[in-house]
Chains A and B, each alone.
Chain A
Amino acid sequence: MKMNKKGDKLISVYWFAILFIVAGGIVYMVSAFYGKPYDVREAEADILTTKIARCISEAGYLKEGVLTENFRENFAEICMINFQVEDVYGWRERGQYYVEVEFLDFDTKQKVFEISEGNEGLKPDCELEGETLPVCIERRFYSIDENGNQYQINMLSVVRKTEKNVQ
């Protein structure tokens, strides 16, 4: 009986030790999960890509005046894009977005027109891999103009905003 009682006490000590270890693990995991910011950059880049695609093409046809110098110069205004960001971490000076649209001849794959907006310095980071690097999304689609010319449109959207999305 004495042995049993000692054994019982020993079990309860171990039981509490296990409880503390499990609780410590849970506290650590929860803190790590909720301490990390939500990374929404991929969703943001996706929305940006969709918005620009809709601005350029509608129902498979290029919108009027897309392949003009005026469209290139006033791209942000026409597509209702404003890359102004919050004034933290020096974001305003560096720019946190970059968009590039290439129009290729569908048959020859030769570049016929190009539009870009934002911080071009973000583009080289797309070739690297890492969580703390900008998020890049590439999309391509097919479109034709009013004269029946066929184009392959390649789009690249880059969102940096690392400090608020990755810890």
Chain B
Amino acid sequence: MRSSGKNKLWNKRGNILTENIIFIILNLVFLSILIVFLFSKMGAAAVLEEMHAKQIALMISAAEPGMTIHLEMEKAVNIVKKEGRNLNDVIIIKDNVVTVQLREKGGASYSFFNDVNVSANFDTSTNKGYFFVVDENE
């Protein structure tokens, strides 16, 4: 009698523990999925493309000829490397329009109003961004 009573107690404790562990694991899985979703949205290529295209266009609009501007784009550079694209083809500046294309398909463009000639070069010393050389338009 005593031993069967002990077994019952043991079983009950075991059940309680298993239920709790499953409950905690499910909660953790749920939260992890939520966090992964948040980070994937925050660092999405499309968001970065739009952000950098506008950022570069505004930067050029405010620039003066003779300036060299460095822009850190580490997250974007990482995406480009993952996609296996050429880092020199990511930023295209033509006819007053900046186009940032981190993926094979996609890309974002935005125009600037400063009548200058700009070239974008990947910064090989840091491997984290680009520098922009602003010259007078010929």
Q: Which residues of A are interface residues toward B (Cβ below 8 A)?
A: 8, 12, 16, 19, 23, 26-27, 30-31, 34, 37-38, 40, 43-44, 47-48, 50-51, 76-77, 80-86, 88, 96-97, 161, 164
Does B69 lie at the interface of the complex (its beta carbon under 8 Å from any beta carbon of A)?
Answer: no
B116 and A85 form a contact (CB under 8 A): no
Q: A19-B27, A23-B30, A51-B62 are in contact. Are A82 and B54 (CB under 8 A)?
A: no
B113 and A82 form a contact (CB under 8 A): yes
How many A-B residue pairs lie within 8 Å, measured between CB atoms? 73
Question: Which listed residue, A27, A47, A84, touches B37 by the CB 8 Å rule?
Answer: A27
Please give me the residue from chain A that is nearest to B109 by CB atom: A86
Does B121 lie at the interface of the complex (its beta carbon under 8 Å from any beta carbon of A)?
Answer: no
Residues of A within 8 A of B115 (CB): 76-77, 80-82
A40 and B42 form a contact (CB under 8 A): no
Q: List 28 A-B contacts (CB under 8 A).
A: A8-B19, A12-B23, A16-B26, A26-B34, A26-B38, A27-B37, A31-B41, A34-B41, A34-B42, A34-B44, A37-B50, A38-B51, A38-B54, A44-B58, A47-B58, A48-B61, A51-B62, A51-B114, A76-B115, A80-B65, A80-B116, A82-B96, A82-B114, A83-B113, A84-B96, A84-B111, A96-B111, A97-B113
Does B17 lie at the interface of the complex (its beta carbon under 8 Å from any beta carbon of A)?
Answer: no
Q: How far is the CB of A30 from chain B (nearest CB, A)?
A: 5
Does B138 lie at the interface of the complex (its beta carbon under 8 Å from any beta carbon of A)?
Answer: no
Q: Tell me, in angstroms, the Cα distance from A106 to B12 when the chains sit together.
A: 91
List 17 other contacts, CB 8 Å, given A50-B62, A51-B61, A82-B115.
A26-B34, A26-B38, A30-B38, A30-B41, A31-B41, A37-B50, A38-B50, A80-B136, A81-B113, A81-B115, A84-B95, A84-B96, A84-B111, A85-B97, A86-B97, A97-B113, A164-B110
